[in-house]
Structure 1
Amino acid sequence: MTLLRLPEPYDFELSTERFRAFGPDLVNLWHEGGVHRVVGSRELRIEAAPGGVDVEPLDEETEPVARAVIGADFELDPFYEWADTDEALHELVPRLAGFRPPLAPDPYETIVSAITAQQVSLFAAFAIRNRMVERFGERGVHAYAFPSRERMAAAREEQLTELGFSRRKAEYVLGVARAELELEALRNLPDEEVKATLTSLRGLGEWTADWFLARHLARPRAWPAGDLGLVKAVSAFYFGGGKLSIGEVRAFGERFDPFQNLTAHYLLTGYRTAPRA
């Protein structure tokens, strides 16, 4: 295996916790202490190592995927320095030191995962997504490749409803697959244009667009205010558990500028792994 170096601190177990927290993730599969993901015709393995992570195989094709999966390009030091001045983060961040939010390397995968998670628990969303991956994805040694847009564009609505998708969500998944939109090109647009483009597609609202910015493009100011988990986390850490509207959470996010994305991930992970009493 080849070492991919990361700045200290780095906590591999905590950073990959999402791949285990809601049941198995067949696309980012936790297996014998490492994460497996299919890249092209090969299966990538990432595991903890002194100074970073060991990756096999590591080359031009697999390195960008590995870096995304481990959140390698997040700059934590400026965030940590700033967070020390925040009433909640100055206590939370040391408990989560070395946490790097994992990213989804593929834009279609990001959107479908968000659609799947609309208005259901993440346990249910992961289960439904896994059934889709088993049905339409290619299997590697252990993990599965997320189904391509081309494969899904040829699928039928009833094939998805048989897997647990609502009819409406099935329409959305297939609609994005068939849309005349170059998803990779969104990387070159500013945040608001990305959101406007995505929300022009049927079934994609601001919540989905915010998570696309956060978990695929790693935009620093992405703030998924409509996420129920984030609403609960903000309430717990800053408002003593009081009820908040999405609008209030969106406005509150301005105080974290320009670290909204990292703040959201730290609050969500902190709330899930060690919620405030």
Structure 2
Amino acid sequence: MERIDIKGPYNFEQVLNRHALDPLNQIDLQERSVKVPLIVNGDKQVVKVTATGTTEEPSFDLSGKTSEAIIARLREIFQWDQPLDDIHAHFRHTDLAPIFKEHVGTPLVLDFDPYNCLLKCIVHQQLNLKFAHTLTQRFVTTFGTEKDGAYFYPDPEKLANVKIEELRELQFSGRKAEYAIGVARAIVEGKLELQKLHDKSDDEIMEELVKLKGIGPWTVQNFLMFGLGRPNLFPIADIGLQNALKKLYNMDRKPSKEEMEGYKPSWEPYASYASLYLWRSIE
């Protein structure tokens, strides 16, 4: 059992509530725990993360096989080394101050694996959230693997050989099936090296990923935010953000693209947190 202490504020209940929206995630709200499927150096491991502290004094117990690499990855996923005080201070004098006060300590938590995140973004395109999660669950439980009660997405090598018709049986559209399989094939063929994206800028990653069929700016922005933890993303095409801003400013319509672009400068360099807290405001 490993013990991790971090600097507050950090609201793990907010983390669990977000992850609980996805039925693939193994969450125990009463125990305040989540099972995290990890692939470290090609080895599949499941670590259970249990909150033992408070929002002001956060601490966590890790149960399962741990190593320096696994703990480093958990720190990255849960953003344990990102002090939220500085971010809250930045937004204290903006229009988002009431939202940040209401949801204080909400971190920008990543999906458990960048590959998972990219596939999930593709599956979720143009779907309502409930069915998007249902479709992702069908996909992973059909073609992925389960270990110690946690689910792993299908390896790229396996997905690359799945037939479009097999995904259509799960209610994928033909195009969406083609896009998901195409990403897996790009990885297998060495055309897409996800690990190397960590060292590239947001613009470089955007330029590389939009070359893949079925991946547009919205998908890349969400991948940058929840796959790589980039702090300054504000996807103006996102309907949820549009609705949150409509509510915030008591508008009788959704804000225009130009209006949304105008909001962003005062939120930089933490626009991803503005996005996150705006989403929280309407959940």
Equivalent residues of 1:68, 1:104 under 8 A apart: no
Aligned partner of 1:275 in structure 2 is none
**1:128 shift after superposition:** 0.6
Alpha-carbon distance in structure 2 between the residues aligned to 1:251 and 1:201: 30
**1:241 shift after superposition:** 5.0
**1:247 shift after superposition:** 4.6
Deviations for 1:41-60, whole angstroms, at most 9, x for unmatched residues?
A: 33211111123221123322
Pick from 240, 258, 271 the counterpart of residue 260 of structure 1. 271
User: Pairwise mapping of residues 94-113 of structure 1 onto structure 2 (< 5 A)?
Assistant: 94-113=101-120
Aligned partner of 2:237 in structure 1 is 226
Equivalent residues of 1:214, 1:223 under 8 A apart: no
Aligned partner of 2:73 in structure 1 is 65
Structure 1 unaligned residues grouped into runs of 5+? 273-277
Aligned partner of 2:213 in structure 1 is 202
CA 1:243/1:41 → structure 2, altered by over 3 Å: closer, same or farther?
closer
CA 1:165/1:250 → structure 2, altered by over 3 Å: closer, same or farther?
farther
Aligned partner of 2:46 in structure 1 is 43
**Aligned AA for 1:230?**
L
**1:70 shift after superposition:** 2.1
Alpha-carbon distance in structure 2 between the residues aligned to 1:271 and 1:159: 36
**Aligned AA for 1:10?**
Y
Aligned partner of 2:127 in structure 1 is 120
Structure 2 counterpart SS, 1:41: strand
TM-score (norm 1): 0.90
User: Pairwise mapping of residues 1-277 of structure 1 onto structure 2 (< 5 A)?
Assistant: 1-21=1-21, 23-24=22-23, 26=24, 28-31=25-28, 32-39=31-38, 40-50=43-53, 51-57=58-64, 58-87=66-95, 89-179=96-186, 180-272=191-283
CA 1:129/1:264 → structure 2, altered by over 3 Å: closer, same or farther?
same
Structure 2 counterpart SS, 1:150: helix
TM-score (norm 2): 0.89
Aligned residues: 268
Equivalent residues of 1:16, 1:70 under 8 A apart: no
Alpha-carbon distance in structure 2 between the residues aligned to 1:99 and 1:34: 16
CA 1:73/1:207 → structure 2, altered by over 3 Å: closer, same or farther?
farther
Alpha-carbon distance in structure 2 between the residues aligned to 1:257 and 1:59: 35
CA 1:190/1:47 → structure 2, altered by over 3 Å: closer, same or farther?
same
Give me the identity figure in percent: 31
Equivalent residues of 1:235, 1:241 under 8 A apart: yes
CA 1:194/1:169 → structure 2, altered by over 3 Å: closer, same or farther?
same
Equivalent residues of 1:198, 1:204 under 8 A apart: yes
Alpha-carbon distance in structure 2 between the residues aligned to 1:208 and 1:254: 22
**1:257 shift after superposition:** 0.9
Equivalent residues of 1:37, 1:145 under 8 A apart: no
CA 1:116/1:246 → structure 2, altered by over 3 Å: closer, same or farther?
farther
**1:251 shift after superposition:** 4.0
**1:239 shift after superposition:** 4.7
Alpha-carbon distance in structure 2 between the residues aligned to 1:107 and 1:42: 16
**1:131 shift after superposition:** 0.8
Alpha-carbon distance in structure 2 between the residues aligned to 1:200 and 1:167: 19
Alpha-carbon distance in structure 1 between the residues aligned to 2:161 and 2:261: 38
CA 1:232/1:251 → structure 2, altered by over 3 Å: closer, same or farther?
same
**Aligned AA for 1:188?**
D
Deviations for 1:149-196, whole angstroms, at most 9, x for unmatched residues?
A: 122112111111111211100000011111121121111111111111
